Amino acid sequence: MEVLDLNTHFHTLRGTVRAVDGVSLAIQKGEALGLVGESGCGKTMTAFSIMGLVPSPGKIVGGEIWFSHDNSRKDLTKIPEEEMRKVRGGKISMVFQDPMTYLNPVMRICDQIAEAIVLHQEVPRNEARRRAIELLEKVRIPIPSTVAQYYPHELSGGMRQRALIATAISCNPDLLIADEPTTALDVTVQAQVLELIKQLKREMNMALMLITHDLGIVADTCDRVCVMYAGRIVEEGDVYEIYREPRHPYTIGLLKSTLSIDEFKETLVTIEGTVPDLTNLPPGCRFRPRCSEVTDRCRETAPPMVEVKKGHKVSCWLYE
Ligand SMILES: Nc1ncnc2c1ncn2[C@@H]1O[C@H](COP(=O)(O)OP(=O)(O)OP(=O)(O)O)[C@@H](O)[C@H]1O
Ligand SMILES: [Mg+2]
């Protein structure tokens, strides 16, 4: 998948919210890409744009989303909704932070998964239910035939997330987008669910786009990472490279503010200030009000994305 200069804006009474403002990124087959950044920087809206699920009054106002599969290559922003419905949940699936919002509370787990299956594949309902149980097994739910009969409220948070993942992979998607899939879970369950996602990705040779604000999770799960700030990607590269040699002052700050077990810190380092109001962006670099390396140039013109090393790109005037 290749996203080129994506712009998704919300036209509100307060003005235009530039939730996604010129995002470009690419994910190869079987690759895991992490999308990280602070709350409100546009991660979910980037994912929703790809899924064709931008909520009103939001709208994709520019850019292209090229998705290639089975020898076809299409710009998802240009295809009719009917075709998009087949892509969504069929070729590209998404799991969300809060599974309860996306599970139907009055439907048994197996029926929900079966529903997703019959929506995209021509199989009878009985067969779909049988496959649903297989999928529950695939996401390592113990005694799947019993759990299949449960309603969502009868499951723990971790099990619900597994059920949602089962639904998401029911049609063998080429790309799985996981938006903060473990944020609502406690740490042990979080690790198990992440491990599951990693294993499924490998087994099914899916591409994965993992959205999180936890750099530790990215290090553990992803091949490459895109760091997002105020609607833009500010740095992109191989995970090891970015952790070893972060270039953008924001990425450096993010890494410094991550707690590590090896290095116990008395006080947690924070990045001063907050994400700018996306309706009222400052001219020049968006990070400059919080940046310690700021120069006059940063106040005037937004820095372009430059490649500092093969595959490592950064948008900052310190690197030209
Ligand atoms: N319905 C809406 N109307 C106006 N603005 C919106 C709407 N939904 C989202 N936004 C704005 O879009 C921006 C990006 O939101 P988004 O949900 O993508 O952030 P995020 O990076 O996923 O944050 P989080 O980590 O908290 O999930 C935010 O600044 C938000 O205020
Ligand atoms: Mg979000």
CATH number at residue 308: 3.40.50.300
Residue with the nearest Cα to atom 24 of ligand 1? Answer: 39
Domain that residue 279 falls in? 2-80+212-314
56 pocket-lining for ligand 1 (C-beta < 6 Å): no
Spacing, Cα 39 to ligand 2 middle (Å): 7
Spacing, Cα 183 to ligand 2 middle (Å): 11
Identify which of 29, 110, 42 has the alpha carbon closest to the alpha carbon of residue 50: 42
119 neighbors 111 (Cβ within 8 angstroms):
no
Give the mutation target among 12, 44, 56 for probing the ligand 1 site: most ligand atoms within 8 A of CB.
44
For residue 301, tell me if it sits in a domain: yes
CA distance 146 to 296: 65
Total domains in the chain come to 1
For residue 251, tell me if it sits in a domain: yes
For residue 162, tell me if it sits in a domain: no
Question: 0.85 cut: is pTM over it?
Answer: yes
Looking at residue 260, its pLDDT comes to: 61
Full pLDDT tens readout for the chain, 320 residues: 999 999 999 999 989 999 999 999 999 999 999 999 999 999 999 999 999 999 999 999 999 999 998 889 999 999 999 999 999 988 999 998 888 888 899 999 999 999 999 988 889 999 999 999 999 999 999 999 999 999 999 999 999 999 999 999 999 999 999 999 998 888 889 999 999 999 999 999 999 999 998 888 999 999 999 999 999 999 999 999 999 999 999 999 988 887 665 665 556 667 778 878 888 888 899 999 999 899 999 999 999 999 999 999 999 999 97
232 pocket-lining for ligand 1 (C-beta < 6 Å): no
14-20 own/partner pairs: CB under 8 Å, 24+ apart: 14/279, 15/279, 15/280, 16/279, 17/278, 17/279, 18/231, 18/278, 18/279, 18/281, 19/45, 19/58, 19/231, 19/278, 20/45, 20/46, 20/49, 20/231
For residue 287, tell me if it sits in a domain: yes
Helix spans in 60-124 (H)? 81-87, 99-102, 109-120
Looking at residue 187, its pLDDT comes to: 87
For residue 99, tell me if it sits in a domain: no
For residue 304, tell me if it sits in a domain: yes
126 pocket-lining for ligand 1 (C-beta < 6 Å): no
**For the CA of 46, the nearest ligand:** 1
Residues in contact with 146: Cβ distance below 8 Å, sequence separation at least 6, in sequence order: none
Give the mutation target among 11, 45, 94 for probing the ligand 1 site: most ligand atoms within 8 A of CB.
45
Residue with the nearest Cα to atom 27 of ligand 1? Answer: 39
Looking at residue 259, its pLDDT comes to: 60
Give the mutation target among 11, 14, 17, 61 for probing the ligand 1 site: most ligand atoms within 8 A of CB.
17
For residue 203, tell me if it sits in a domain: no
For residue 137, tell me if it sits in a domain: no
